[in-house]
Amino acid sequence: MRKTVISRRRLTLSGIGLCALVALSGCAAALPLPSGPQAEAKIMPLEESFAIADQLAEDLAFPPMDLETMQWLDRLQGELAEDANFGSPAISNDRSTVTIIWYGTPSARLEELVAQAPETLTVVIQPAVFIPAELTELTQRAVTTPGLVLGAEVAMGSPAPDASGITIGIVELPVGHTLEQLGIAFAQALQRPDVTVTVEVSGTIVPFNS
């Protein structure tokens, strides 16, 4: 996949591979959804709490972001958060490259904001497979619609960071089914068989803002 790469405000095309990415907090995550009522939550198992603590410790080993980069990222998200084509920005472990997921032709405002990026920062615009806002809506429906797929209790969900599909976590795997079969079933139930739905067994219900 070809990506638009902007460094020191010069626009070029490049097929470079992405650096290992982490989300703005230090680990990959989807763009936060608007605030609102939350679904019921269960207490996280102790072993999962330890896993999160280990991840946080690993994140602290990365170099911190400088203030200029943080302010620019805040402005980027603040001004483009309502654009349906805007996905999750992510920054490389060494804090030198920011990747922006975008569906379709970059808007004039996106190009303006990228041109305002810190001089030392490389900005990559990666084309999204699907419209990020549509994936967020599909994820919300999957999490908040009871009995969407018979026998599968949904615990959590999130759009893929690169907007290539969605991931759904279920409490347990129903007898006689595979995760792949459930992925197809969820896609059909959501009336989007073209979207890749990855199903995982999470075992824990996580609140989802609606």
What pLDDT shows up at residue 62?
80
Each of the 210 residues of the chain gets a pLDDT tens digit; together they read 445 555 433 333 333 333 333 333 333 333 333 444 444 434 445 455 445 555 555 556 688 989 999 999 999 999 999 999 999 899 999 999 999 999 999 999 999 999 999 999 999 999 999 999 999 999 999 999 999 999 999 999 999 999 999 999 999 999 999 999 999 999 999 999 999 999 999 876 665 554
Domain boundary among 127, 161, 187: 127
Structural domain ending residue among the three candidates 103, 127, 151: 127
Residue 5 and residue 57: Cα distance in Å, rounded?
A: 31
What pLDDT, on the 0 to 100 scale, is given for residue 56? 54
122 and 137 in a common domain: no
HSE-CB at 57 with a 13 A cutoff on CA atoms is 6
Q: How far apart are CA 183 and CA 2, in angstroms?
A: 28
pTM: 0.69
Q: Looking at the structure, do residues 110 and 197 belong to the same domain, yes or no?
A: no
Count helices and strands in the chain by DSSP H and E runs: 5, 9
Regarding whether 89 and 190 lie in a shared domain, the answer is: no
- Considering the domain architecture, whether residues 197 and 176 belong to the same structural domain is answered as yes
pLDDT of residue 205: 62
> Which range of residues forms the domain containing residue 62?
3-127
CB 33 within 8 A of CB 136: yes
Any domain includes 209 = no
Q: Among 92, 111, 127, which residue terminates a domain?
A: 127
Query: What's the number of domains the chain is made of?
Result: 2
Give yes or no: residues 110 and 57 share one domain: yes
Instruction: Please tell me whether residues 14 and 44 are part of one structural domain.
Output: yes
Q: Are residues 168 and 78 in the same domain?
A: no
111 and 161 together in one domain: no
Claim to verify: residue 143 and residue 176 sit in the same structural domain: yes
The answer to whether 89 and 62 are in contact (CB under 8 A) is: no
Residues 62 and 106 in one domain: yes
